[in-house]
Amino acid sequence: YQKVNDLEKTNYYLDKALAVNPLAKTTFYNKGLYHFQKKEWEMAIFYLEHLSSENLPGINQNTVVRMRLAYSLAMMGKSAMAGNNFESALNYLERSLKTEPSAENLTYLGICYFNLGKKAEAQTQVLKALNMQPEYAPAKAALKMMEDK
What does 67-85 look like in DSSP terms, one character per residue?
A: HHHHHHHHHHHHHHHHTT-
State the DSSP string of 98-125: HHS--HHHHHHHHHHHHHTT-HHHHHHH
pLDDT tens digit sequence for 90-112 = 999 999 999 899 999 999 999 99
- The reported pLDDT for the residue numbered 42 is 95
Over residues 22-68, the pLDDT tens digits come to 888 888 888 998 999 899 999 999 999 887 666 555 545 678 888 99
